Structure 1
Amino acid sequence: MSHPGQYFFASRNQPNYAWWRPLAEIIVAAVLTVAFVAVIDLSLQAAGVDTTGGAADKYFGYGSVVVEILAVILAVRFVGRRPVASVCSGRPGTKAWVPLAAYALAFVVIAAVMGAVGVFGYGASWGQVFGGVGTDLPVEMVAIVLAALAEEMAFRGLFLQAFTAWTKRPVAGALLAALPFVAMHPQAYGSPVSFAHYFLDALLYALLVWAFNSIWVAVAVHAAWNTFGSIQALGMPTSAAVLVASFAASALATAVVIGVLRRVATPQSHLPASA
Structure 2
Amino acid sequence: MQHKGWQRFFFRGKRLHPIWRTLIYLLGLLAAEVALDLLVALVYVGTLILAGRPPMDALGVLTSGRLPYPILLGTGLTRLTGALGLALLLGRFLDREPMEMMGFCRARAGRDGMTGIVLGLGTMLALGGTRLALGWATADRGLGTLSSLLLDAVALFPLALAEEVAFRGYLLRALAGWRGPIVGVTVTSLLFALFHAFNPNPSWLAILNIALAGVVFALAVERSGTLWLAVGYHFAWNLAQGPLLGMPVSGMGWEGLLALGTGGPALWTGGAFGPEGGLLATVVLLLSLPVLWATTRRRATVAGVCRRQRAAAEARFGPLPHLHYRLDVERRFFDDIARSVERGDREGEVVLLLRHGDGRLLLHTKSFYPTNAYRLPSGGIRHGEPVLAAARREVEEETGLALGGAHPLGLLTYSLRQGRGRLFFHSWLVIGEVEGEPVTDDAGERIAGFRQVPPDALPQVATRLRALPPEWAGWGHFRALAHDAAFRWLGEEEHTAETELA
The alignment's TM-score, normalised by the length of structure 1, stands at 0.77
Paired residue for 1:117, among 130, 134, 149? Answer: 130
The answer for the alignment partner of 1:139 in structure 2 is: 151
My pick for the range that moved more, 64-73 or 195-204, is 64-73
1:150 matched residue in structure 2: 162
Residue deviations 1:84-114 (CA, integer Å, cap 9, x gap): 4433347x97353231133124313420x22
CA deviation after TM superposition for structure 1 residue 165, in Å: 4.1
Q: Contact 1:103–1:224 (CA<8 Å) still a contact in 2?
A: yes
Aligned to 1:75: 86
Residue number in structure 2 paired with 1:8: none
Residue identity matched to 2:268: A
SS in 2 for 1:122: coil
**1:36 to partner: Cα distance:** 1.7
Contact 1:102–1:220 under 8 Å retained in 2 = yes
Partner in structure 2 of residue 37 of structure 1: 37
The aligned counterpart of 2:456 is none
Aligned counterpart, 2:462? none
- Alignment check: 8 A CA contact 1:148 1:223 kept: yes
Residues 1:106 and 1:190: Cα distance change in structure 2 (over 3 Å): closer
**Take 1:44 and 1:84, find their aligned partners in 2: how far apart are those partners?**
34
Residue of structure 1 equivalent to 2:368 = none
Give the superposition deviation at 1:118. Answer: 1.8
Deviates more, 1:220-229 or 1:153-162: 153-162
> In the alignment, is the contact (CA less than 8 A) between 1:141 and 1:227 conserved in 2?
yes
Are residues 1:247 and 2:247 paired? no
How has the CA–CA distance of structure 1 residues 236 and 214 changed in structure 2, closer, same or farther, with 3 Å as cutoff? same
2:225 maps to 1:213: yes
CA contact (8 A) 1:110 1:250 kept: no
Give the equivalent residue in structure 2 for 1:236. Answer: 262
Distance 1:273 1:256, change over 3 A: farther
Go from structure 1 to structure 2 and tell me whether the alpha carbon gap of 1:119 and 1:209 turns closer, same or farther (over 3 Å shift): same
* Whole-Å separation in 1 of the counterparts to 2:116 and 2:193: 24
One-letter amino acid matched to 2:194: A
Q: Which residue of 1 aligns with 2:68?
A: 57
Which of the pair is proportionally richer in strand?
Answer: 2
Matched with 2:122 is 108
Separation in 1 of the partners of 2:108 and 2:385? Answer: 12
Q: 1:96 to 1:46 in 2, by over 3 A?
A: same
8 Å Cα contact 2:112/2:232 also seen in 1: no
Cα 1:200–1:56 shift into 2, 3 Å: closer
3-state DSSP of counterpart to 2:262: coil
Q: Is the 8 A contact 2:116 2:233 kept in 1?
A: yes
- Judged with a 3 Å threshold, the aligned counterparts in structure 2 of structure 1 residues 220 and 34 are, in CA distance, closer, same or farther, namely same
- 1:25 corresponds to which residue? 25
Query: 1:208 Cα shift?
Result: 0.8
Mapped to 1, the partners of 2:156 and 2:283 lie a distance apart of: 22
Change (3 A) 1:177 1:272: farther
Matching of residue 99 in structure 1 with residue 143 in structure 2:
no
TM-score, normalised on structure 2?
Answer: 0.45
Q: What is the rounded CA distance, in whole Å, between the counterparts of 2:142 and 2:121 in structure 1?
A: 15
Amino acid at match of 1:240: L
Larger mean Cα displacement after TM superposition, 199-208 or 229-238: 229-238
- Can you give the 5+ residue segments of structure 2 that lack an aligned partner in the other structure? 1-10, 50-57, 246-258, 270-277, 302-341, 345-382, 388-502
Aligned-CA RMSD value: 3.4
Task: Indicate if the aligned counterparts of 1:148 and 1:222 stay in contact, CA closer than 8 A.
Answer: yes
What's the secondary structure of 1:236's corresponding residue?
coil
